[in-house]
């Protein structure tokens, strides 16, 4: 018989123990052999040990009327029995599926390890949240990790001087020089404004203002600010999205300083800022394409260093917005831009697109718009996006398709038609439109369209039909807790991401929540009492797990010269990632049950 290796304390969750606790565990751990069909732990009863499987597999069973139902299977390397030790009673019954060899951790030792190691305890008490954080932080670079932990208040904030609006340009310039600062907070009304060094320079050199003119004429409102307790990365996202170099920092109701790109870059040399600068300076479609080329490498770097998925998607969305808005300016004549509104849909509309996937966009046109050249312009827009790296949508959800290019009144009629005819195609179009977000042109044109979309939330029949699509794709999880796939791998888009995204979209519509982003929708539903805090939190964590694993596979596909796909090869994942994936798919099943109950759906 081959020698049994020792318990590996370098893998999760044992790598969360301090050195003395690892020594304690190594001294206390024992080994046990159990024949097939041995009942190791009974549901509802405590356990004398926490088990780590060395060889063989175990069935977890749930009691049912007249018998037991198989809940999940555990294989070599898996740990079970921790809940029975922590809570004093097991959730499931555990039975040996074949002859077993197990490491045995005495219950008293395990309890002591929990008491002495908070991170180890969090792994078991917080479940999916703690595991996801651990997986995301393993192997990440210390520089980006520091950025993710750094708060705005910890950065080197510039002092913020407040001056009255009657202050002259020359006096303001002198104040900037004396205080060695780059902006002034202008206080001359209910809401303050801001004036930067660049504003003063342009007022004198380009706009012809006199040196004694009051700076209230130059103040920008509203003031773009960030909270002092926000992470520094969020400030970077805000500056990138708003096309600005500096934001004001608030602590409660008070302004405490300003933060510029220079201060952010003191913590992290951001490729995103370089892309933003190149986009701002782009004077041709070719230069836009060149600037956008760096986005995939930016994503690759941030993903490799463990960037939080919600931050990464926001940053990429901000850059995508810059690219598409810049192309829009080149394609749509200036005198027509106030008469059209460019919408982004799908993952870009939700601010969840990471890599350049297919185009999903639409146009809202003013009712009185007369634009004979619109067909050529929108065809040029779609073709240019394709050249920059955003491939055409296979379903033709693009402005070049008249079906997604309508006058404002026609949009409202179309939405009413979706509501009255809850057919498959109509519900598909509605689902796509619910994620619409204005990106360029006149955003006011979208306001009545958005109101009409939210109005469908009062129609129970339409909502039930919409919700039914959440159940269209089976979760790639077997009855026995194994992740299912085929030769291509496991499709995380259909079986994992879509049910969460679409279920949250439908619940948000029901409760008239206007957020587009899935993470924001989940939080708003929690706040509204429409989701339990536990399920809402788990949904956000599960979605982040799916997005991270899918992105990792897509980047590997691109490196291999293959198109990015939605299939993940579970066999090559780290053990912790496989465990995370299994837990996250369990959350999907729980959410589907919630949708069934909420909308009274039958299979």
In a domain, 484, yes or no: yes
Checking if the pLDDT of 64 tops 90, the result is no
Q: What's the mean pLDDT in 364-385? A: 94
CB 204 within 8 A of CB 228: no
Q: What is the CATH number of the domain that holds 82?
A: 2.60.120.10
Q: Locate 239 and state its tokens.
A: 């500056």
Query: pLDDT tens, 257-276?
Result: 998 877 676 555 455 666 77
- Residues 494 and 434 grouped into a single domain: no
Q: How confident is residue 427, by pLDDT bands cut at 50, 70 and 90?
A: confident
Q: Dihedrals φ, ψ of 98, to 5°?
A: -160, 180
Checking if the pLDDT of 282 tops 80, the result is no
Query: pLDDT tens, 233-246?
Result: 788 888 887 888 88
- Percent helix, strand, coil in the chain, to 5, is 50, 20, 30
Q: Return the pLDDT at 478.
A: 65
Q: Return the pLDDT at 463.
A: 92
**Distance (Å) of CA 361 to CA 292, 395, 440:** 18, 11, 11
Checking if the pLDDT of 65 tops 80, the result is no
Q: Return the pLDDT at 132.
A: 54
Q: From CA 344, how far away is CA 324, in angstroms rounded?
A: 9
Q: Single out the residue in 428, 458, 488 at which a domain terminates.
A: 458
Query: pLDDT tens, 446-455?
Result: 999 999 999 9
- Residues 356 and 502 grouped into a single domain: no
Element (H, E) at 425: helix 424-433
Q: Which residues pair with 259 in a beta bridge?
A: 247
Q: Return the pLDDT at 233.
A: 78
Checking if the pLDDT of 581 tops 50, the result is yes
Reduce the DSSP state of residue 97 to 3 states and report it.
coil
Q: Return the pLDDT at 6.
A: 73
**Distance (Å) of CA 83 to CA 16, 95, 337, 372, 479:** 18, 16, 60, 69, 21
- Residues 74 and 115 grouped into a single domain: yes
- Residues 444 and 483 grouped into a single domain: no
Tokens 């204005």 belong to residue = 438
**Distance (Å) of CA 549 to CA 22, 490, 499, 567:** 30, 11, 17, 10
Question: Does the CA dihedral 287-288-293-294 come out positive or negative?
Answer: positive
In a domain, 302, yes or no: yes
Cα angle at 405 between 402 and 409, to 5 degrees? 120
Q: What's the mean pLDDT in 173-185? A: 89
Q: Closest Cα partner for 94 from 30, 32, 51, 31?
A: 51
Is the pTM here over 0.85, yes or no? no
In a domain, 234, yes or no: no
Question: Long-range contact list for 371-374, CB < 8 A, 24+ apart?
Answer: 371/336, 371/339, 371/340, 374/405
Q: Return the pLDDT at 140.
A: 44
Per-residue DSSP letter, 494:
I
- Residues 589 and 474 grouped into a single domain: yes
Of residues 535 and 72, more confidently modeled: 535
Q: Closest Cα partner for 440 from 514, 340, 517?
A: 340
Q: Closest Cα partner for 12 from 172, 116, 111, 137?
A: 137
Q: From CA 50, how far away is CA 531, in angstroms rounded?
A: 33
Q: Dihedrals φ, ψ of 361, to 5°?
A: -150, 170
Q: Return the pLDDT at 532.
A: 93
Q: Return the pLDDT at 191.
A: 85
- Residues 445 and 315 grouped into a single domain: yes
Q: Single out the residue in 426, 458, 490 at which a domain terminates.
A: 458
Cβ-based neighbour number of residue 325 at 10 Å: 15
Distance of CA 466 to the CA centre of its chain: 23
Reduce the DSSP state of residue 453 to 3 states and report it.
helix
Domain that holds residue 107: 14-125
- pLDDT averaged over every residue in the chain: 85
- Residues 425 and 484 grouped into a single domain: no
* % of the chain exceeding 90 in pLDDT: 45
Checking if the pLDDT of 146 tops 60, the result is no
- Residues 439 and 377 grouped into a single domain: yes
In a domain, 345, yes or no: yes
- Residues 288 and 397 grouped into a single domain: yes
**DSSP alpha helices (H): ranges in 29-155?**
82-87, 107-116, 118-125, 128-137, 142-149
- Residues 312 and 413 grouped into a single domain: yes
Number of domains observed in the structure of the chain = 3
In a domain, 432, yes or no: yes
- Residues 47 and 88 grouped into a single domain: yes
In a domain, 119, yes or no: yes
Q: From CA 221, how far away is CA 250, in angstroms rounded?
A: 16
**DSSP alpha helices (H): ranges in 91-193?**
107-116, 118-125, 128-137, 142-149, 169-179
Q: What is the CATH number of the domain that holds 436?
A: 3.30.460.10
In a domain, 244, yes or no: no
Q: What's the mean pLDDT in 195-217? A: 91
Q: What is the CA radius of gyration of the chain?
A: 28
Checking if the pLDDT of 288 tops 70, the result is yes
Q: Return the pLDDT at 310.
A: 80
Checking if the pLDDT of 602 tops 60, the result is yes
Q: Single out the residue in 86, 106, 125 at which a domain terminates.
A: 125
- Residues 335 and 359 grouped into a single domain: yes
Q: Return the pLDDT at 364.
A: 97
Cα angle at 483 between 482 and 486, to 5 degrees? 125
In a domain, 333, yes or no: yes
Of residues 487 and 373, more confidently modeled: 373
């Amino acid at each position: 018989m081959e020698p049994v290796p020792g318990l590996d304390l370098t893998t999760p969750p044992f790598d969360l123990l301090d050195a003395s606790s690892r020594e304690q565990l190594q001294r206390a751990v024992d080994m046990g052999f159990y024949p097939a069909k041995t009942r190791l732990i009974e549901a509802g009863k405590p356990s004398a040990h926490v088990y780590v499987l060395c060889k063989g597999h175990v069935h977890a069973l749930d009691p049912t009327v007249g018998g037991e139902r198989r809940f999940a299977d555990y294989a070599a390397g898996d740990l079970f029995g921790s809940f029975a030790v922590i809570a004093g009673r097991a959730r499931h019954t555990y039975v040996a599926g074949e002859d077993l060899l197990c490491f045995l951790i005495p219950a008293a030792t395990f309890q002591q390890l929990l008491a002495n190691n908070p991170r180890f305890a969090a792994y078991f008490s917080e479940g999916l949240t703690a595991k996801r954080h651990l997986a995301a932080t393993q192997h990440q670079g210390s520089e980006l990790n520091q950025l993710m932990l750094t708060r705005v208040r910890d950065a080197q904030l510039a002092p913020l001087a407040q001056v009255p609006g009657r202050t002259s340009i020359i006096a303001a310039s002198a104040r900037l020089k004396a205080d060695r600062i780059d902006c002034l907070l202008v206080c001359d009304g209910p809401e303050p404004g801001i004036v930067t060094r660049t504003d003063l320079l342009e007022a004198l050199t380009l706009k012809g203002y006199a040196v004694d003119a009051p700076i209230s004429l130059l103040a920008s409102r509203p003031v773009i600010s960030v909270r002092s307790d926000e992470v520094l990365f969020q400030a970077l996202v805000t500056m990138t999205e708003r096309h600005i170099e500096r934001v004001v920092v608030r602590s409660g109701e008070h302004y405490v300083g300003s933060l510029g790109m220079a201060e952010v870059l003191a913590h992290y040399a951001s490729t995103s800022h370089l892309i933003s600068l190149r986009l701002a300076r782009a004077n041709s479609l070719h230069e836009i394409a060149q600037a956008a080329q760096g986005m995939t490498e930016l994503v690759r770097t941030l993903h490799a260093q463990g960037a939080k998925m919600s931050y990464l998607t926001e940053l990429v969305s901000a850059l995508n917005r810059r690219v598409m808005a810049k192309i829009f300016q080149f394609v749509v004549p200036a005198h027509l831009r106030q008469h059209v509104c460019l919408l982004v849909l799908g993952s870009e509309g939700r601010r969840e697109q990471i890599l350049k996937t297919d185009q999903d966009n639409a146009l809202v046109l003013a009712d009185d718009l007369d634009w004979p050249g619109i067909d050529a312009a929108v065809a040029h827009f779609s073709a240019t996006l394709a050249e920059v790296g955003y491939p055409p949508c296979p379903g033709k959800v693009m402005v070049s398709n008249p079906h997604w290019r309508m006058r404002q009144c026609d949009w409202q009629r179309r939405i009413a038609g979706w509501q009255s005819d809850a057919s498959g195609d109509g519900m598909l179009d509605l689902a796509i439109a619910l994620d619409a977000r204005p990106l360029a042109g006149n955003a006011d044109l979208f306001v009545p369209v958005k109101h009409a979309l939210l109005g469908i939330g009062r129609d129970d029949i339409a909502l039930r039909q919409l919700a039914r699509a959440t159940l269209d794709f089976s979760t790639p999880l077997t009855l026995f807790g194994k992740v299912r796939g085929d030769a291509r791998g496991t499709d995380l888009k259909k079986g994992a991401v879509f049910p969460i995204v679409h279920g949250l979209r439908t619940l948000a519509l029901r409760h008239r929540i206007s957020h587009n982003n899935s993470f924001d929708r989940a939080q708003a539903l929690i706040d509204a009492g429409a989701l339990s805090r536990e399920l809402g939190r788990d949904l956000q964590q599960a979605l982040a797990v799916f997005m991270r694993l899918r992105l990792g596979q897509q980047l590997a596909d691109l490196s291999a010269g293959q198109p990015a796909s939605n299939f993940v090869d579970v066999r090559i994942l780290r053990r912790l990632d496989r465990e995370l994936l299994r837990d996250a798919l369990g959350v999907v099943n729980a959410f589907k049950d919630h949708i069934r109950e909420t909308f009274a759906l039958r299979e």
